[in-house]
Amino acid sequence: MDKFLVNKSMNLKGKVRVSGAKNAALPILAASILAGDEVILEDVPRLRDIEIMEDILTTLGADFEFIEENKLRIDTSRVENKDIGYELTSQMRASTLIMGPLLARFGNAKISLPGGCTIGTRPIDLHLKGFRALGVDCDVHNGYIEAHSEGLVGQKIYLDFPSVGATENIIMAATLAEGETILDNAAMEPEIVDLSNFLNKMGADVKGAGTPTIRIKGVEKLGKASHQIIPDRIEAGTFMVAAAMTDGDIELENIITSHIKPVIAKLKEMGATVEENGSHIRVKGTSEPKATDIKTMPHPGFPTDMQAQFMAFMNIIDGTSVVIETIFENRFRIVDEFKRMGADIKIDGRTAIVQGVEELTGSEVKATDLRAGAALILAGLVAEGETIVDDIYHIDRGYENIEEKFKALGANIKRVSV
């Protein structure tokens, strides 16, 4: 299994092009099932999670081909409705996202209950609630979800919580339903907007994405489309923290600054300089960063996927910082790893109190999930001595060429296979 060896690398400097967003690409790949035709996607990141979605789509009968490094052609004309078993779904929670498109196109779907990051219980009750409202019988037994319908019918649906995945699945299911679906308390993440833009390019009628109320008018048929995936706001945020934390100077290209407002605001509060310029952003650190507090919230609040990276930074800031995690209950598993590096963090339920320490020390640590893995690299960049990050398959699920990108900024990071 691969590991990263990270050595102290202050003052990271240079340019990074941000890759396409994994969390936008995954639902869009699933939505290609709805085209029943050829779809061309640009800026698709080359990641393990994308390969898992490729395996799922090819199992269903899709033709899947990268015609350039990040340009993908998918032909779903020969897709058939087949069961998707545990081997595929256990690897990634986002595998549930094929349910909406399969239900819309075929009226039925059978998939094994999903796996994914170990960051919480992550039920799919809200997805099923939405499907049931559209007239689908959903039965969960023997580790499978079996869903049947005689044709989906548009409905008013209220989500008890603005779940990203449930919003995406319900929008996709409703695209070919009879009549109009009105989804209230929908998630407002930029990835929902990107999915809706793609669906509309295929001929769907989705309005209101990015607001809490989304209206989907069912249409007869969807077809071919081309689309460019939005930049990955979490990858961007990770490099922005790297700039601030190492007292560096990093310019990011391919960024939509309105997607990362909470990250920009927090970094400024912490003393970094952030210059926005169209699709570019430049972050400069400071030798005297300030402690701060964060509370994760659904978009446009502070993203849970940036929480661990900020905690890595808080570890080396003089003073006390507080992190409240309201989205996933297991996102503090990384705290034990930070403690191995000399961090001083106390947890009380969903609150972590981080007391800044003089310095972190290089240690052997484990990536407990995808974002935690990125946070451990960040911690390794400022720690004295060598940090060995194990279980980096988590990081490979979601960051494209992460070590090359860090190396180009002057970081001392090496991948080793053991």
Residue numbers of the site for ligand UD1 (CB under 6 A)?
23, 26, 93-94, 120-127, 161, 163-166, 187, 191, 304-305, 327-328
Residue 404: other Cβ atoms inside 10 A:
11
- For the bound state, the minimum distance from the C-beta of residue 375 to ligand UD1, rounded and expressed in Å, comes to 14
Minimal CB distance to ligand UD1: which residue? 165
- For the bound state, the minimum distance from the C-beta of residue 28 to ligand UD1, rounded and expressed in Å, comes to 11
> Nearer Cβ to ligand UD1, position 264 or 383?
264
- For the bound state, the minimum distance from the C-beta of residue 129 to ligand UD1, rounded and expressed in Å, comes to 7
Q: Which amino acid is at 209?
A: A
> Nearer Cβ to ligand UD1, position 57 or 383?
57
- For the bound state, the minimum distance from the C-beta of residue 313 to ligand UD1, rounded and expressed in Å, comes to 19
- For the bound state, the minimum distance from the C-beta of residue 287 to ligand UD1, rounded and expressed in Å, comes to 32
Residues in a beta bridge with 345: 354
Q: Which amino acid is at 291?
A: A
- For the bound state, the minimum distance from the C-beta of residue 61 to ligand UD1, rounded and expressed in Å, comes to 23
Q: Which helix H or strand E contains 54, and what residues bound it?
A: helix 48-60
SS3 (DSSP) at 53:
helix
138 flagged as catalytic: no
Q: Which amino acid is at 44?
A: V
Which of 16, 60, 117, 317 is the catalytic position?
117
> Nearer Cβ to ligand UD1, position 191 or 247?
191
**∠ CA(408), CA(358), CA(293), 5° rounding?**
80
> Nearer Cβ to ligand UD1, position 306 or 316?
306
> Nearer Cβ to ligand UD1, position 121 or 287?
121
CA dihedral 193, 22, 39, 83 (to 10 degrees): -100
**∠ CA(400), CA(266), CA(334), 5° rounding?**
55
Q: Which of 233, 182, 228 is nearest to 209 (CA)?
A: 182
> Nearer Cβ to ligand UD1, position 62 or 164?
164
- For the bound state, the minimum distance from the C-beta of residue 126 to ligand UD1, rounded and expressed in Å, comes to 3
> Nearer Cβ to ligand UD1, position 222 or 372?
372
Q: Which amino acid is at 76?
A: T
Catalytic positions are 117
